[in-house]
Chain A
Amino acid sequence: MDLSDYPLELPEGDRPMVRFMNVTKRYGTLTVLDRLDLDVAEGEMVTVIGPSGSGKTTVLRMLMTLETINGGVIYVDGKPLTHMEKGGKLVPANERYLRKARSSIGMCFQHFNLFPHMTALQNCMEGPVQVLGMSKSEARARSEELLEMVGMIDKKDQHPSRLSGGQQQRVAIARALAMRPKVMLFDEVTSALDPEVIGEVTNVIRQLVAEHNLTMLMVTHQMGFARDISDRICFFYQGKIEEEGPPEQLFETPQKERTQQFLSAVKDAG
């Protein structure tokens, strides 16, 4: 498919919040994502599972435009994310376009990546003040509200080095939400945490799902958690969606052999 075959904008009535259209990602000769088609509806919570190396984290990183795209187009809210219009057709987006386009997407990382030279509150205020041009008092109010929501208001003046992993991840969630994204991405946000603090992070995400109409994409190894809160599960295998469906269906009655093998291996591991 040539770039001119892709629509400049998705038509009314067929505008999922996120659409991967024929997306390919290669590292050298290794194809990580192979002509992926994936829609995520507004307000939907989709969890991506699969063995390591299956391309599941790459899906999130491409949506955050942290990775360049080798084929296909990603649309967010009907508009191209990875490409921009030039002379009536799509061309790869430049830095300026990407910066604006990706502002509707927030991301939390496995290793939190809080800014160590700023307090929890400053971490949350950084984006609104520096990028959105919000006044400091307004950004402070918004950030404090979010820190309150994730239960970190008591620690707002602490630097990340003084916080536990679970606390850092909760601040990181507040920091991403402070930009008021339409889509939130959670990339293995509990994988680097000690078992006893995983709950404090998953509870925050549960609360987000319950109380906010955010569109979310999550990569996780916490199968029980994924099952509880997801609207849909996508099982990735070798750069493709091997199987997808509602959590009960995918976990109880997986159709594909690969899915069955993966789920039983995960179950055996405990």
Chain B
Amino acid sequence: MSLLEFLQTYGSLIVSGTWVTVIQFLLAVVVAILAALTAGLGKLSKNVLIRGVAITYIEIFRGTSLLVQLFWLFYVLPLFGITLDKFTAGFLSVGLNIGSYGAEIVRGSIQAVPRGQYEAAYALSMSPARRMRRIILPQALVLMLPPWGNLLIELLKGTALVALISVADLMFQTRQINASTFLSAQAFGTALIIYYILARFLITPFMRWLERVMARRLGRA
């Protein structure tokens, strides 16, 4: 079967799978950013309890396998009375996993903002929360964009694992097609290309654009 015929036959399945992958990606991004900001700020907190929770989260989610985390959220949590549907368990585990890496980026870029900026904000009698929100975070944001670009590509590829708990994403559909037709080269080849296109032509240009916008806000562009 030629690739064209393959696409004509299975195109709709692949499109629907891609759509699910995109939705999983977007929801996981939201989870990852929220988790990274919370844990990154938490790790810088003076409060031992807050810092402890943040470090525990980062250690667990960065130190163990994403696949195991996915299975935990989907298969083990119900044993403790928390049942998540597969779609939620999917983007939640991918988001929390990538968020733990993101937390270190957030912490690192906050600490990379020059000391003088804290001191100038302090000298204007700003409260710690206001210093962070108005002065430090906007500058840290600019510093953290390039590493986040990397992480988001990692996150997109991570979403392929949700196929293993039967979320009907691109990987899931591809495996289904392969199982019923044995057209492995066409099936997995198409998936490969779609993942690449999403990463290379959507995520990367978007992050570049964001970097330019932020640079302009600093009056540097």
Residues in A with CB closer than 8 Å to B139 are: 115-117
- Does A102 sit within 8 A of B, measured CB to CB? yes
Knowing A66-B122, A159-B218, A179-B125, say if A113 contacts B138 (CB, 8 Å).
Answer: no
A223 interface contact, C-beta 8 A: no
Question: CB < 8 Å: which of B120, B127, B128 contacts A115?
Answer: B120
A117 touching B138 by the CB < 8 A rule?
A: yes
Give the one of A64, A115, A131, A179 with max B CB within 10 A: A115
Chain B CB within 8 A of A107 CB:
yes
- Which chain A residue lies CB-closest to B124? A127
Q: Is B184 an interface residue (CB 8 A)?
A: no
Residues of chain B within 8 A (CB-CB) of A103 are: 125
- Number of B residues whose C-beta is below 8 Å from A? 23
Q: Is A64 a contact partner of B117 (Cβ separation < 8 A)?
A: no
Instruction: For the complex, give the distance between the alpha carbons of A99 and B121 in Å.
Output: 11
Does B27 touch A at the CB level, under 8 Å? no
Task: Report the tally of A-B residue pairs with Cβ distances under 8 A.
Answer: 72
B119 contacts the other chain (CB 8 A):
yes
Closest to B130 in A: A130
- Contacts A127-B125, A131-B126 given; does A114 touch B218 at CB 8 Å: no
Task: List CB contacts (< 8 Å) of A121-135 with chain B.
Answer: 126-127, 130-131
A111 touching B219, Cβ below 8 Å: no
Please tell me if the beta carbons of B134 and A126 are within 8 angstroms of each other in the complex: yes
A106 interface residue, CB < 8 Å from B? yes
Instruction: Let me know if A158 and B219 touch, CB within 8 A.
Output: yes
- List residues of chain A with CB within 8 A of the CB of B135: 115
Q: Which of A75-109 contact B (CB under 8 A)?
A: 95, 99-100, 102-103, 105-107, 109
> Does A176 have its Cβ within 8 Å of any Cβ on chain B?
yes
A173 to B125, CA, bound (A): 16
Does the CB pair A130–B123 fall under 8 Å?
no
Are the C-beta atoms of A95 and B125 separated by less than 8 Å? no
Q: Is A256 an interface residue (CB 8 A)?
A: no
B217 at the interface (CB under 8 A from A): yes
Interface of B (DSSP majority class): helix
Q: How far apart sit A119 and B219, CA to CA, in the bound complex (Å)? A: 8
Q: Are A131 and B124 in contact (CB under 8 A)?
A: yes
Distance between Cα atoms of A175 and B139 in the complex (Å)? 19
Cα distance, A172 to B116, chains bound together (Å) = 12
Write the chain A residue with the least CB distance to B215: A161
Please, which residue of chain A has its CB at the minimum distance from the CB of B220? A161
CB of B126 within 8 A of CB of A111, answer no
Interface check A247, CB cutoff 8 A: no
B122 and chain A: residue at smallest CB distance: A66
Q: Which of these, A66, A126, A162, contacts B124 with CB under 8 Å?
A: A126
A103 vs B125: C-alpha distance when bound (angstroms): 6
| CB of A50 within 8 Å of the partner chain | no
Are the CB atoms of A131 and B123 closer together than 8 Å? no
Asked whether B116 lies within 8 Å of A109 as measured between CB atoms, the reply is yes
Q: What are the 4 tightest A-B residue pairs by CB atom distance, in nearest-first order? A: A159-B219, A113-B120, A113-B116, A127-B124
Residues on A facing B (Cβ under 8 Å): 64, 66, 95, 99-100, 102-103, 105-107, 109, 111, 113-117, 119, 126-127, 130-131, 158-162, 172, 175-176, 179
B→A interface (CB under 8 Å)? 114, 116-117, 119-128, 130, 134-135, 138-139, 142, 217-220
Supply 19 A–B pairs (Cβ within 8 Å), ascending by A: A66-B119, A95-B127, A95-B128, A100-B125, A102-B125, A103-B125, A106-B123, A107-B123, A109-B116, A109-B120, A111-B116, A113-B116, A113-B119, A116-B219, A119-B219, A127-B125, A130-B134, A161-B218, A176-B124
